[in-house]
Amino acid sequence: MTGIREGWDDKKIEEIVGNLLRAGVIIAASVVFAGGVLYLFRYGNTHPNFSIFRGEPSDMRSLAGIFHEAFILRPRGIIQFGLLLLIATPVARVAFSAVAFALEKDRLYVVITLIVLTVLLFSLLWARA
Amino acid sequence: MHHLNTTEFTLVIGLGALVAGFLGALTGLGGGIVVTPLLTLAFGVNIRYAMGASLVSVIATSSGAAAAYVKEGISNIRAGMFLEIATTTGAVMGAGIALRLPTAVIAIVFGVVLLYSAFQSTRIHPELTPDNREPDRISALLRMDSTYPALDGVKSYRVHSVPAGFGVMFGAGILSGLLGIGSGALKVVAMDQVMRLPFKVSTTTSNFMIGVTAAASAGVYLRQGYVDPGLAMPVMLGVLLGALLGARVLPRTRSHVLRLVFSIAVTVLAIEMIYHGISGRL
């Protein structure tokens, strides 16, 4: 379904992008689901209260904290780790697109894609609100 | 809803999120735009937690549905990538603004954006984009002109007004970060009406861009404690399941009927959000 300009390469890349997105989402959702089951076993009979914003505790807000909480199998930590994987999925997609455009020797779009990737990494790793 | 325990709350929220994700994928407007009003108005969730859960679910919707779309060759990957420069920078700025705004103001802005989305989705215009215009210099330089599979065979189209589309996309990014939504409506406007991409190409490319835009503000939200795992879990899983179902139904649906139905629901939510914002109840 692609035109003359977009040949076999684009088609192949689109297929890999599709698989990458699907894999990322399936893995992330599975981790979140597993954490969710544990979460309900542990907190299922408590009463949720989200009406007042307190902000999450620091171990749910930093990468190091989330990794640690997930590693020691705390339900909330596992869910949060799954959500991190989900956030990483589109970032991985952009990173892959940069490689794909490079393989196609499409320099203009390598540069465009790297700009997008830089903004994403900046916001995920460095941006201070 | 305060009498529900965590298990019941999780199941009810998950079901609501499933419906939101389904409609969001079908209309290309994203599930997030319905999730936040639903959580705040029906379940009394603080809007900042609702935005955190919504934003995360938006990434799931986009990536899950895009996986199906890219194989169909409907989305315009080059136009999407170029415009993501505008949406991601806007999203980071929008998230920064959200942290400094009171919840009542966020609620009112949210309502106005909802109203606009509803209005936008009822505007019926022919699916056929006139292709007899002159090729656009900038879109030619960026090689955005492409083809897409229509009902009656493969059609080629030209892309126009790239700078204006880029500007609207920057605005879409700001709103995305500011409200924790995918800003699908505005992204579709930028491509469908400003840049003259075919409607189906606009909605699928929008869906495909939403995840990247949302990821740009998700980092800011996460560090500010907007993402609660207990709330985001049912929202994300529900929206994802709904979006996957929606992506399966999309090729068999008529977009204008859908947009009309969705816009009615969105208008009701919009008025509620503005009313609650003004009366200081959110």
With 50 as the cut, is the pLDDT of residue A129 above it?
no
Q: Which residues of chain B make contact with A92, given a CB cutoff of 8 A?
A: none
With 70 as the cut, is the pLDDT of residue B225 above it?
yes
Give the per-residue pLDDT at B116.
84
Q: Which residues of chain B make contact with A52, given a CB cutoff of 8 A?
A: 46
Helices (H) and strands (E) in chain B, counts: 12, 2
* Stated pTM of the model: 0.88
State which amino acid sits at residue B131. D
How far does A71 lie from chain B, in Å, by closest CA?
16
Mutate which of B99, B223, B281 to disrupt the A interface (most A C-beta within 10 Å)?
A: B223
Give the per-residue pLDDT at B125.
56
Contacts of B199 (CB under 8 A, 6+ apart): B127, B188, B192, B255
Give the per-residue pLDDT at A5.
47
Task: Give me the mean pLDDT over the A95-99 stretch.
Answer: 91
Give the pair of three-digit tokens for residue B244: 């996957």
Cα dihedral B109, A125, B21, B51, rounded to 10, equals: -30
pLDDT tens column, A12-44: 777 888 888 889 999 999 999 999 999 999 988
With 90 as the cut, is the pLDDT of residue B215 above it?
yes
Top pLDDT among B23 and A114 is at: A114
**Cα separation values, A69 from A22, A34, A57, A60, A112, Å:** 26, 14, 12, 8, 37
Looking at residue A59, the DSSP 8-state letter turns out to be: G
Contact A120 B88 (CB under 8 A): yes
% of chain A at pLDDT higher than 90: 47
ipTM of the complex, rounded to two decimals: 0.87
pLDDT averaged over every residue in chain A:
86
Give the pair of three-digit tokens for residue A25: 């989402």
Contact between B156 and B139 (Cβ < 8 Å): no
CA closest to B55 among chain A residues: A87
**Measured between CB atoms, which of A79, A108, A123 is closest to B217?**
A123
